[in-house]
A and B are shown apart, each in its own frame.
Chain A
């Protein structure tokens, strides 16, 4: 899109976000919730990065930290090459125009006492864009852009259905002509038929305005449809990052395999034929996350090393990164080419490259990997 093709729009390095748990009269910190724990990636301009994981994995916290709605505990956040993690709210203000959010709940994210026109107008007013007449014209134009009609200007949010409200939320985010939109579960509260309208709308807007999306969702079908690349998170860690299509045909991390396997497929014969990997139990507490690989207590390929050593993020080529001691879908040649990615977490053991693989797996069609694994090259 814009002038610089090389520089990413957003780059985060070793970002951490811990929430303190305080107790007693003195409000002493007794523990910390490790919501986001050393995550690094970059997002190119015009691209959509999908961010997936179960609830509690830190995907929303990370999204909010990137747009600086939350203070990072540690790490670097760059926007258009500018380090913004220490910006004051005054310094951030001009940047707010560049990055906007679309929230999950179309009912809670619009002020019920304001008219739609005011809701969409307010960001422009705050940033001093245009006079009253210009702004009104712009609001009407935005309403049309998102598929509503200019006559809706004077209505209240309660007069709209869920899908229409989400369109209002999108119009508000577009009002300042941002470069980056962080969409936090924008379609999960909507009916399926409305959901597909919204996904198509987001796609159209991206093409029209050259938007960059960070698309946070738990629905792997939705994420596949919109994303260019997908980041999978588990308990605050980035466990796999891959070009979108490749994640579905060739997951490397067993957690991704299990997630894909759990997605119900609306085809009875295929659903009956495929072998489901049902993950036991729940996501452990992020207050005391498991040692080593955080997924090891629920992983069917886990061995001793998984409990002891945190695996580094390993690059397997084609921008496909994964953090696993027993990777799936990696042949001997790819294993030899593999090297530790520069974005690997600082706490991970850099020398702990995987030695063997756990075989091939296609969780969509139901072909599983082999617990126990195959011996790899020495």
Chain B
């Protein structure tokens, strides 16, 4: 592992044209289809999308958790230059947890109810470090302290049911950090929690990223969460990246009508209450028989003839690195956008 703070712009992870397809009796599920991004040390990448958009499958593939006889992978996942997709299962073990840690959504079901919190962290520590149990336990106490569990010396011997939801999520984070991973993947880490606890956890993840000098991939459906913590944001839809930009560009100059829809669907506290919320008509498409052309076309209020061909993920605005998949002219979009986001346009639900 690198000494702390040595290389700030060190590229930890490069995902290139990643696709994950699952063969099922109903046909091929293209869960992830041509996803590319990079992650540098010290950065937070937000992946935003609705259920079925492929955001969780992307994360689980980085961890090597989607390997299955029916799963087919394409593209590359390079971690510090090494393609993780080519590793054997036992080689992958050396990366999983050790180099890339993961926090799951549901702290209720991700902890084993019959083992003490401490035992579960000790197990994670010992899986990668050859240390004896006493040392590992001392490390577990230290970790619980870092994630803000009060009285870690005694709470380390508690069972998961003795922890509240927020504390369980903290314990999960402690476990994910137990081997000092360079990349931390948080898959909807706050969705099951109350807003007050969510604020605590977001703050904690941001602080730990700096303390541990790592990078974070934050997966969420909540644009409010990424507005707080992310540096760069990817919006996914039906297995595809549909927009990718630095945080401020995504919020203040969104290019993809789907992103507008997401922004407009949130009842916001910082704006006057709209008469009606903008709603995206219909439901996300099936990933088995995705529509031809732009995947968002059937739900898009601005679709036109050209949309039957799928636009490439390209830079269409002044700002380099801001990519989108939409044929509409940039100036037209800028004129249409605010009405859509503020809910002024009416669409049948």
Q: Which residues of A contact B (CB under 8 A)?
A: 54-55, 147, 161-164, 191-197, 199-201, 203, 218-222, 224-225, 245, 248, 258-271, 276, 278-279, 281-283, 364-365
The answer to whether residues A224 and B227 also contact, given A193-B280, A201-B349, A278-B203 and a CB cut-off of 8 A, is no
Contact partners of B276 in chain A: CB under 8 A: 200, 203
Binary flags per residue of B168-211, CB closer than 8 Å to A gives 1, else 0? 00000000000000000000000000111111101100000000
List the A residue with the shortest CB-CB distance to B299.
A193
- State A218–B166 Cα separation when bound (angstroms): 15
Least CB distance from B250 to A in Å reads 9
Are B199 and A364 neighbours in the complex by a CB distance under 8 Å?
Answer: no
Q: Which of B22-30, B72-80, B259-267, B303-311 lies at the interface?
A: B259-267
Q: Which of B125-133, B217-225, B322-330 lies at the interface?
A: B217-225
Least CB distance from A130 to B in Å reads 28
Are A161 and B349 neighbours in the complex by a CB distance under 8 Å?
Answer: no
Contact partners of B284 in chain A: CB under 8 A: 191, 193
List the B residue with the shortest CB-CB distance to A57.
B194
Contact of B349 among A192, A197, A269, A282 (CB under 8 A): A197
Q: A193-B261, A278-B200 are in contact. List 14 more A-B contacts (CB 8 A).
A: A196-B264, A196-B280, A200-B279, A219-B195, A219-B267, A225-B267, A225-B277, A263-B269, A264-B225, A265-B268, A268-B228, A268-B251, A282-B197, A365-B270
List the A residue with the shortest CB-CB distance to B247.
A268
Contact partners of A365 in chain B: CB under 8 A: 270
Are A282 and B195 neighbours in the complex by a CB distance under 8 Å?
Answer: no
Are B200 and A271 neighbours in the complex by a CB distance under 8 Å?
Answer: no
- State A55–B200 Cα separation when bound (angstroms): 16
The answer to whether residues A264 and B198 also contact, given A191-B50, A224-B269, A270-B270 and a CB cut-off of 8 A, is yes
Are B251 and A193 neighbours in the complex by a CB distance under 8 Å?
Answer: no
Contact of A264 among B165, B224, B283 (CB under 8 A): B224
- State A263–B269 Cα separation when bound (angstroms): 8
Are A54 and B196 neighbours in the complex by a CB distance under 8 Å?
Answer: yes
Are B51 and A264 neighbours in the complex by a CB distance under 8 Å?
Answer: no
What is the total number of residues of chain B having a CB less than 8 Å from a CB of chain A?
47
Are B349 and A200 neighbours in the complex by a CB distance under 8 Å?
Answer: yes
The answer to whether residues A197 and B279 also contact, given A54-B196, A258-B196 and a CB cut-off of 8 A, is yes
Contact of A263 among B197, B224, B261, B281 (CB under 8 A): B224
Are A196 and B224 neighbours in the complex by a CB distance under 8 Å?
Answer: no
Which positions 105-138 of chain B face chain A at CB distance < 8 Å?
none
The answer to whether residues A163 and B283 also contact, given A268-B247, A271-B228 and a CB cut-off of 8 A, is yes
The answer to whether residues A267 and B199 also contact, given A197-B349, A203-B276 and a CB cut-off of 8 A, is no
Q: Which residues of B contact A (CB under 8 A)?
A: 50-51, 150, 164-167, 194-200, 202-203, 221-225, 227-228, 247-248, 251-252, 261-270, 273, 276-281, 283-284, 349
Are A262 and B251 neighbours in the complex by a CB distance under 8 Å?
Answer: no
Nearest 8 Cβ contacts at the A-B interface: A264-B224, A221-B267, A193-B280, A225-B267, A196-B265, A196-B279, A196-B277, A191-B50
Are B195 and A259 neighbours in the complex by a CB distance under 8 Å?
Answer: yes
Contact partners of A266 in chain B: CB under 8 A: 223-224, 227, 251, 263, 266, 268
- State A248–B261 Cα separation when bound (angstroms): 24
- State A196–B252 Cα separation when bound (angstroms): 21
Contact of A161 among B252, B269, B283 (CB under 8 A): B283
Least CB distance from A225 to B in Å reads 4
Contact partners of A162 in chain B: CB under 8 A: 51
Are A267 and B283 neighbours in the complex by a CB distance under 8 Å?
Answer: no
List the B residue with the shortest CB-CB distance to A187.
B267
- State A267–B266 Cα separation when bound (angstroms): 12
Least CB distance from A25 to B in Å reads 24
Least CB distance from A60 to B in Å reads 13
- State A259–B265 Cα separation when bound (angstroms): 21
Are A192 and B265 neighbours in the complex by a CB distance under 8 Å?
Answer: yes
Most B CB contacts (10 A, CB to CB) among A147, A164, A191, A260 go to A191
- State A194–B166 Cα separation when bound (angstroms): 27
Are A262 and B266 neighbours in the complex by a CB distance under 8 Å?
Answer: no
Are A282 and B167 neighbours in the complex by a CB distance under 8 Å?
Answer: yes
- State A295–B348 Cα separation when bound (angstroms): 44
List the B residue with the shortest CB-CB distance to A280.
B200
Q: What are 9 A-B interface contacts by the 8 Å CB criterion?
A: A54-B196, A162-B51, A191-B51, A221-B266, A221-B269, A258-B196, A262-B199, A265-B268, A267-B251
Contact of B199 among A192, A245, A276 (CB under 8 A): A276
Contact partners of A265 in chain B: CB under 8 A: 224, 227, 268-270
The answer to whether residues A192 and B269 also contact, given A264-B198, A264-B227 and a CB cut-off of 8 A, is no
